[in-house]
Chain A
Amino acid sequence: MIRFLTVRIGQAILVLWAATVVVFLLFFVGPGPNSVARTFAGRLATPARIAQIKHDLNLDQPIYQQYLHWVGNLLQGNLGYDYYKGQPVNSVVAAALPATLSLVIGAAILWIAYGVLSGVISAVRPRTFLDRGFTLSALVFYSMPTFVLGLGLIWIFAYKLSPVTKFFPFHGYIPLTQNPGQWFEYLILPWLTLALVTSAGYTRLTRTSMLEVLGEDYIRTARSKGMSERRLVRVHGLRAALTPVVTLAGLDIGVALGGVIITETVFGITGLGWTIVQAINLQDLPVIMGIAILAAAFVVVANLVVDILYAVLDPRVRLY
């Protein structure tokens, strides 16, 4: 087990390091030191300011030194300094993170619940109208780009049905601490959007997994001994079938924390994704790079956690 852990953690570190190289090369090096300094300084910078920034950022130094400098900062938890807004990137991230967390966690609860429920129903009553209905709707939602679904939902709820549902706001984010009721309202549609699109995979996965488990011999034995169908499904079937679902959920959440850019943009939720899009428009490099590497870190950690959990639950996995 220890060997497995060391190997896995080592791999994760390696991947994270490679991600820093990629992010660095993409953003820092791509545009070139002059334009980097200029963009760092912001729109209205003077040549003097630019020169000073160049010096501050060590842009006059060789590339690998700049890289080391940046990584050194990262290791200390410092994501950089946003010259444009005059604040550390960490503050920007701290301000944006709650929004993303609210969105992702809320949506995750929804998509897991709906995905598992519909998957179980589909598995228990295969090839019925319900089963086909769920499968079809999953297919439809999976085929829909997130922004199409989001805009569609906004249109329906905020406009078309507006005499009835005028209370659905559709743009913006109210922090939980500020006003819980509004926080909830503003998040309903985004949650729905994100959850519907992501749940498609879960319905299918749960269904397949359940069908496999329910076909196993030990289930048949229990059934022949008179165990009620309900208990069978709930206790035995579910437990076995849920492992892959939990795995997938962990991975999806990890990816979502850095990747729900579209949903946040459509609904104006000021989370990490929205922030990075704004930063790209403004060419605000430190923020872009900081959030990008943070997102990568989320994914790598999520992968690692899921792998370790799996190894704990299923000893066969450890035989590397």
Chain B
Amino acid sequence: MSDVNPVPPDGEDILLRVENLVKYFPVKSTGFFGNREHVHAVDDVSFTVRRGETFGIVGETGCGKSTLGRSVARLHDITSGRITFDGRDISRISQRRMRPLRREIQMIFQDPIGSLNPRRRVGSIIGDPFAIHRTATGTERKRRVQELMERVGLNPEHYNRFPAEFSGGQRQRIGVARALAFQPKLIICDEPVSALDVSIQAQVINLLADLQAEFGLTYIFIAHDLSVVRHVSNNVAVMYLGKVTEIASADDLFDTPRHPYTGALLSAVPVPDPDHSDQRQQIVLVGDVPSPIVPPSGCRFHPRCPKAAPVCVTQDPELEPRLGDGPGHVAACHLPMAQGENLADFKPTIGAEERVIEPEGVLTADALPASGDGGKS
């Protein structure tokens, strides 16, 4: 499988290429005859990110998107696969060799409280990159930190305050400032706005957009909120249980989803227009996400998929263009959704033992309150 990026092959400038990335976490064996179990956090994921774009990654909690982000940033060692950043293979290099590269790959974390050291002053926190890589000291460092603070919309005079004295949105800006110190080539945003109020979310997203325009940044934007992701991304990947189920441009994904999982997610996105919302049929997915330690066979989604067929139990589908799509839109599904298909009309054709236990008659529902993405605890 070659380039899975949904962009025409010419004029591309690939900043990051991920090929067959696998990350397992060993589970502490309780038995002591050594049956090592593993959490299949990321299982054979491939995608590419062009310079200057925003690549969104969506999925439910526990689908592995955070792990994917951290693996790409080499905060973990990867189990197998290849990561090529700006032409360099960084899959297996040591942490020490990785350090200079950390000026070019940065992360913004989800939890604005947890990602800032509560006992350090904000100026010191933002100044960390300069201190660690020894690029500026003393007054010079302070000046640059205050510049950054201004750039992200913070008052530079709050240089000496502690994180606890800021609001959630401001703390996230601190995180952004810290990540921005070196104008990195790639910023991985791990659910940067999930913990914020909606109005604040807008501000932070606007800030990120401005910075991208000004500095030519490339983002990987990880989130579970589809509407946000649609908003900010050029291309989006959907993840389920460690695997990528669909990659498409933002518009294509939302107009013509191919994978039933994507379809279900989309139907759960709240729509502001109450009339339109009434007319929609919501696909409520049954049951919870299965355990990533023992994932289902074949297509991992088959226990919950409304269209499941016997081939879905036995064969893991490839990620490739379906139903006549161009190379920019790929899906991993044996029975992809055609345009205008309504998932509510389908019933799975596999035996009950392959399905997740269903509570009474809830395969479709009208005007149920939006459950977000099914299964999120």
B18-35 contact mask (Cβ, 8 Å, vs A): 1 or 0:
000000000010101000
Flag A1-28 by CB within 8 Å of B: 1 or 0 each. 0010000000000000000000000000
Considering only residues 299-320 of chain A, those with a C-beta below 8 Å from chain B are: 319
B211 to nearest A CB, angstroms? 47
CA distance A53 to B60 in the complex (A): 79
Please measure, in the bound complex, the distance between the C-alpha atom of A90 and the C-alpha atom of B30, giving whole angstroms.
46
Question: Which residues of chain A have C-beta atoms less than 8 A from B30's C-beta?
Answer: 319
CA distance A3 to B32 in the complex (A): 8
Closest chain A residue to B32, Cβ basis: A3
**Which interface class (under 10, 10 to 19, 20 to 34, 35 or more) fits B?**
under 10
Smallest Cβ distance from A317 to chain B, in angstroms?
Answer: 13
Residues of A within 8 A of B32 (CB): 3
A319 CA / B30 CA spacing, docked (Å): 7
**B-chain residues with CB within 8 Å of residue A319 when the two chains form the complex:** 28, 30
**1/0 per position for A126-153, CB-CB distance to B under 8 A?**
0000000000000000000000000000
User: Nearest residue in B to A1 (C-beta to C-beta)?
Assistant: B32
Report whether over half of chain B's contact residues are helix, strand or loop; otherwise say mixed: loop
**Complex: how many Å from CA A319 to CA B29?**
9
Interface residues of B in 56-76 (CB under 8 A from A): none
Counting contact residues on chain A (CB < 8 A from B), the size range is under 10
- Bits for B25-47, please: 1 = Cβ < 8 Å to A, else 0: 00010101000000000000000
Chain A residue nearest in CB terms to B29: A319
Give a binary string over A261-274; 1 marks a CB under 8 Å from any B CB, 0 the rest.
Answer: 00000000000000
For residue B30, give the distance in angstroms from its CB to the closest CB of chain A: 7
B36 to chain A, nearest CB (A): 15
CB nearest neighbor in A for B30? A319
Nearest B residue to A4 by beta-carbon distance?
B32
Minimum CB–CB distance from B31 to chain A (whole Å) comes to: 11
The CA-CA distance from A89 to B108 in the complex, in Å, is 67
Per-residue CB contact flags for chain A residues 149-168 toward chain B (1 = under 8 Å, else 0) read 00000000000000000000
CA A92 to CA B28, docked complex, whole Å: 50
Please give the distance in Å from A4's CB to the nearest CB on chain B: 9
Nearest CB on B from A188, distance (A): 51
Distance (Å) between the CB of A1 and the closest chain B CB? Answer: 8
Give Cα distance in the complex from A169 to B155, angstroms: 79
Q: A3 contacts which chain B residues (CB < 8 A)?
A: 32
B91-103 to A contact mask, C-beta < 8 Å, 1/0: 0000000000000
Name the distance in Å between A293's Cβ and chain B's nearest Cβ. 34
Chain A nearest CB from B152 CB (Å) reads 46
Contact with A along B134-171 (1 / 0, CB 8 A): 00000000000000000000000000000000000000
Query: In the complex, A159 Cα to B241 Cα: how many Å?
Result: 82
Q: A319 CA to B28 CA in the complex, in Å?
A: 9
A320 to chain B, nearest CB (A): 9
Alpha-carbon gap, A3 to B34, bound state (A)? 12
Q: What A residues does B28 contact at CB under 8 A?
A: 319
Q: CA–CA, A78 to B30, complex, Å?
A: 43
- Chain B residue with the shortest CB-CB distance to A320: B32
Whole-angstrom distance between the alpha carbons of A3 and B30 in the complex? Answer: 12
Q: How many Å from the CB of A3 to the closest CB on chain B?
A: 6
Cα of A234 to Cα of B336 in the assembled complex, Å: 69
Taking the closest CB of chain B, its distance from the CB of A26, in whole angstroms, is 39
Q: For the complex, what is the distance from the CA of A319 to the CA of B32, rounded to whole Å?
A: 9
CB distance from A313 to the nearest CB of B (A): 19
User: How far is A319 from B31 in the complex, measured between Cα atoms in Å?
Assistant: 9
Q: Which residue of A lies closest to B28 (CB)?
A: A319
Chain B min CB distance to A312 (Å): 16
Question: Nearest-CB distance from A82 to chain B (Å)?
Answer: 48
Chain B residues 1-31 with CB under 8 Å of chain A are 28, 30
Q: In whole angstroms, what is the CA distance A3 to B28 when docked? A: 15
Closest B-chain residue to A3, C-beta based?
B32
Query: B29 CB to closest chain A CB, in angstroms?
Result: 9
Q: With both chains docked as a complex, state the minimum distance between the C-beta of B162 and any C-beta of chain A, in angstroms.
A: 34
| Chain A, range 1-60, C-beta contacts under 8 Å to B | 3
Output the least CB separation between B18 and chain A (Å): 36
| A284–B32 alpha-carbon span in the complex (Å) | 50
Min CB distance, A319 to chain B, in Å?
7
Chain A 248-287: CB-based contact to B (< 8 A → 1; otherwise 0): 0000000000000000000000000000000000000000
Closest to A2 in B: B32
B280 → A minimal CB distance (Å) = 48
Least CB distance, B367 to chain A, in whole angstroms: 43
CB distance from A233 to the nearest CB of B (A): 35
Interchain nearest-CB distance for A274 vs B (Å): 47
User: In whole angstroms, what is the CA distance A207 to B134 when docked?
Assistant: 54
Tell me how far the C-beta of B163 lies from the nearest C-beta in chain A, rounded to whole angstroms.
Answer: 35
Q: In the complex, what's the smallest C-beta–C-beta distance from A271 to chain B, in angstroms?
A: 43
Q: Shortest distance in angstroms between B37's beta carbon and chain A's nearest beta carbon?
A: 15
CB distance from B377 to the nearest CB of A (A): 26
Task: Determine the residue in chain B with the shortest Cβ distance to A319.
Answer: B30
Bound CA span A99–B37, Å: 55
Question: A197 CB to closest chain B CB, in angstroms?
Answer: 39
Kindly provide the distance from the CB of B3 to the nearest chain A CB, expressed in whole angstroms: 47
- 3 A-B pairs, CB-CB below 8 angstroms? A3-B32, A319-B28, A319-B30
Interface residues of chain A, those whose CB is within 8 Å of chain B, are 3, 319
The 3 closest A-B pairs by CB, nearest first: A3-B32, A319-B30, A319-B28
